Amino acid sequence: MQAEVPQAKGNTGLVGGAISAITAHIRDGELSPGDKLPSESVFARDLAVSRTVVREAFRSLAAMRLIEVSTGKRATVAKLDHTAISPLIEHGVSTEQISILQVYDVRRTIETRTATLAALHRTGAQSREIAALAETMQNSFLDPAAMMEADIGFHLAIARAAKNPIYPLIVGAFEGVTRQTWPVGWKSRSSESEQHHMLDIHSDLASAIAAGNPEQAAELMALHFDASVRALLAAGIS
Amino acid sequence: MQAEVPQAKGNTGLVGGAISAITAHIRDGELSPGDKLPSESVFARDLAVSRTVVREAFRSLAAMRLIEVSTGKRATVAKLDHTAISPLIEHGVSTEQISILQVYDVRRTIETRTATLAALHRTGAQSREIAALAETMQNSFLDPAAMMEADIGFHLAIARAAKNPIYPLIVGAFEGVTRQTWPVGWKSRSSESEQHHMLDIHSDLASAIAAGNPEQAAELMALHFDASVRALLAAGIS
DNA sequence: CGATCAAACCTATCATACAGGTTTGCATAT
DNA sequence: ATATGCAAACCTGTATGATAGGTTTGATCG
């Protein structure tokens, strides 16, 4: 029968109401990241519910990364955190609702744009950070784990340099999945020349961004993802 | 001093441990969306913690949309839901960590791609759905609220037609923000010809997708967003 | 064999209690 | 007057037990 869905999920019950009240408090109070929220007891009294209900609401908001909680201290409004969406994507992949290739299609789309924007907007310090990470990759030829971490940091640094906080959010969403699949792609680049070629693309990309060449940066990023997809396909990943 | 961060946030304390245990249960049990989880009491016994802790863990996972809970019934593994990320983006905007223009840059990037993929992969039913929504927009000239809902549905339908579940997730992330800013953009298209032009672009886009013309679909989507950004800028939105 | 209903199970919420971390302000010493 | 240090007040984390009300299941009865 599919009855009406009055207001999206999460608003049902006292906990949902508390969540709405707390988000309204943040919005209407025009609070900024770091600002403190009233204590659980205060909300419980104001909303006339038990502290249990408020606690579950706080936990929910903390899980969504809207607030931060910690022992003894009052909860604070959260700063955007690039790891916020990662659990959702990992869940999608682990339950086979999302394939690895689908992840790479989105990454290619998004990161071609971050490369463009990074070339346009990066600061000097960001150029150096990106170049340093590319170099760390080159120097980690015998330590794939270290190379992977540098690679992840490299892509995230480019997203940050795009000067739009949504991009790190999206790039970060795929971090968990990347940690699980990166070694597969690396191993499937069987010849040393293939492996060096991948490292060189990273270095060239760092240079294009440092040089402020958005077209070249975008093209290199696209090439990088095309090669990655080929490597994953070669490894039998679908 | 910034001590080491062993494993990203959320793993501290008993609740964090419970969350890990539950996600591990889903992953290791290779559960699929809809599958039932053990009850709170069972987890409480198995993990040797109180039901309070397990409940907070369940609530957290429900907030992240990894599971679904409802009264009386046992929790189930969640299907991906396009509204999952919306609260996070709304939070970013309401706390002034994200600007509207930044939202539109991401949307343009993502939706140019969804238009391309939709033109390539859409089914007949999806073509018809998209066309019907474009027509609803045309017919809602005197009812902006209805037009907005059709517009939101239109973009989401295209994302679904792209046959990659991550795209609806991202497009859906901006739904809440769009509801807040859409009227501004509409009103700022002052002349009737401007307004009709926007409606026509939607119809043309629907046709391009139905015709299986990815280049044209992508170009129309890009034009649409360029016009939207101009409208928002004209309205003084930054 | 099918309809009915009660028992068993499950989640939602509440009240209370206590342990341990944090903040604050007062008292004391310099 | 200022700085130091400590204790009280406050806050979160977790546990326990109780009750209300929704859901599932299986035995019973027609």
Quickly list DSSP for B87-144. Answer: HHHHHHHHTTSS-HHHHHHHHHHHHHHHHHHHHHH--HHHHHHHHHHHHHHHHTTT-H
Taking only residues 48 to 87 of chain A, the set having a beta carbon closer than 8 angstroms to any beta carbon of chain B reads 52, 55-56, 59-66, 71, 77-80, 83-85, 87
- Residue B39 CA, distance from chain mean position: 30
Q: Does nucleic acid strand C have an atom less than 7 angstroms from the CB of A50?
A: yes
Which regions in chain A score pLDDT beneath 70? Answer: 1-10
| pLDDT at B84 exceeding the cut of 70 | yes
DSSP state of B163: T
Predicted local confidence at residue B8, as pLDDT? 44
Give the A window 176-215 contacts with B, CB below 8 Å.
Answer: none
Instruction: Give which of B55, B95, B120 to mutate to test A binding, by max A Cβ within 10 Å.
Output: B95
Mean pLDDT score across all residues of chain A: 94
Segment (H or E) for A67: strand A67-70
Domain boundary among B77, B104, B128: B77
Residues of A in contact with B26 (CB under 8 A): 91, 94-95
Q: What is the pLDDT of residues A153-193, one digit of tens each?
A: 999 999 999 999 999 999 999 999 999 999 999 988 878 88
- The stretch B13-17 carries a mean pLDDT of 96
Residues of A in contact with B167 (CB under 8 A): 106
Same-domain pairing of B116 and B23? no
Shared domain for B215 and B147, answered yes or no, is yes
Q: What are phi and psi of B77, to 5 degrees?
A: -70, 135
A157: containing domain = 86-234
Residue whose entry in the numeric block shows the structure tokens 């006292």:
A14
pLDDT at A95: 97
pLDDT at A4: 34
Same domain, A212 and A98: yes
CATH of the domain at B28: 1.10.10.10
Same domain, A115 and A208: yes
Quickly state the pLDDT bin for B10 (edges 50, 70, 90): low
**Residue A6 belongs to some domain of the structure:** no
Tell me, yes or no, whether A8 lies in a domain.
no
Q: Is residue B4 part of a domain?
A: no
As ranges, strand C nucleotides with an atom below 7 A of a protein CB are 9-17, 20-23
Query: Least CA distance to B93: which residue of chain A?
Result: A27
A222 within domain boundaries: yes
Count of domains observed in chain B? 2
Segment B110-141, tens digit of pLDDT: 999 999 999 999 999 999 999 999 999 999 99
Please tell me which residue lies nearest to nucleotide D13, judged from CA to C1': A71
Please check whether residues A102 and A168 belong to one and the same domain.
yes
Sign of CA dihedral B192, B102, B122, B154: negative
Q: In CATH, what number is assigned to the domain containing residue A227? A: 1.20.120.530
Are residue B55 and residue B103 in the same domain, yes or no?
A: no
CB B89 within 8 A of CB B103: yes
User: What size, in residues, is chain B?
Assistant: 238
Q: Assess whether pLDDT exceeds 60 at residue B6.
A: no
With 0-12 CB in 10 A as exposed, 13-18 as middle and 19+ as buried, what is A125?
A: exposed
Of B31, B59, B84, which has the smallest distance from its Cβ to A88's Cβ?
B84
B111 and B18 in a common domain: no
Residues A104 and A62 in one domain: no
Q: Is the pLDDT of residue B7 over 70?
A: no
Q: Are residues B49 and B108 in the same domain?
A: no
In strand D, the nucleotides that come within 7 Å of a protein beta carbon are: 10-17, 21-24
CA of A39 to C1' of C30 (A): 38
Please report which confidence band the pLDDT of residue B48 belongs to, taking 50, 70 and 90 as the band edges.
Answer: very high
Nearest Cα residue to B221 out of B238, B209, B233: B209
What pLDDT sits at residue B189?
87
**Which residues of B in 46-65 have their CB below 7 Å from strand D's atoms?**
49-53, 56
The reply to whether A71 and A183 lie within a common domain is no
- D23 nearest neighbour residue (CA to C1'): B72
B169 lies in a domain?
A: yes
Residue B238 has pLDDT above 90, yes or no: no
Q: Is residue A4 part of a domain?
A: no
Of B58, B77, B96, the residue at which a domain comes to its end is B77
User: A56 and B61 in contact by Cβ < 8 A?
Assistant: no
Burial of A190 (0-12, 13-18, 19+ CB in 10 A): exposed
Q: Strands B67-68 and B76-77: what pairing?
A: antiparallel
Which of B24, B59, B77 is the last residue in one of the domains?
Answer: B77
What is d(CA A181, CA B65) in angstroms, rounded to the nearest whole number?
23
Nucleotide nearest to B44 (CA to C1'): D15
**In degrees rounded to 5, what are phi and psi of residue A76?**
-125, 160
A219 and A122 share one domain: yes
Q: Would B26 be classed as within a structural domain? A: yes
Query: Is there a single domain that holds both residue B68 and residue B17?
Result: yes
